[in-house]
Amino acid sequence: MSPALQLAILGTSLMLPRVQALICQWGTHKSVRSISELPLKWTSGKELCEDGWGCQDTLILIKNGPQVNVVISKGCTPAADQDVLIREHNAGPGLSILSYTHVCREKDNCNSLSTSLPLWALPSTTGMGGRSWGREGAGR
């Protein structure tokens, strides 16, 4: 490749717009709690992502009897954008799993989930506050 062509390519690439690195909320948490302690609230740190990466929120609640295993993960990810997705995973009698996932790139700190309320407030057939999960007598 000629030096003139190399300079032309380099000059063109320097003029291309760069993808701005995002600042995302960051944190992880794992615990086993009594269902009576829900919904939970939390605070997060911050981290600077690599160029082009997005911010993610993941919340998983696994209920087994009166206890709930809580898993929270927030931070930078190379994964594609994903609108908020809440799912109930059927795991058999006595074991219920709810998950919340979100990946965004629209602005800094767009992964702003700070409470388990979105899973708690689901309709009575799936949500923490409903028939299968909630406080005694709720949703019945």
Give 10-residue mean pLDDT values along the chain (140 residues). 62 56 97 94 97 98 93 98 93 86 98 93 54 37
Given this model, what pLDDT does residue 19 score?
Answer: 64
The strands making up 54-64's β-sheet, listed across from edge to edge, are: 45-48, 23-34, 67-77, 54-64, 95-104, 82-90
Best CA proximity match to 71, nearest among 101, 35, 39, 31 = 31
For 99-111, the three-class secondary structure string (H helix, E strand, C coil) is EEEEEECCCCCCC
- Per the CB < 8 A criterion, the answer to whether 44 and 29 are in contact is no
Fold of 19-120: CD59 (2.10.60)
Instruction: Output the pTM of the full model.
Output: 0.75
Given this model, what pLDDT does residue 5 score?
Answer: 58
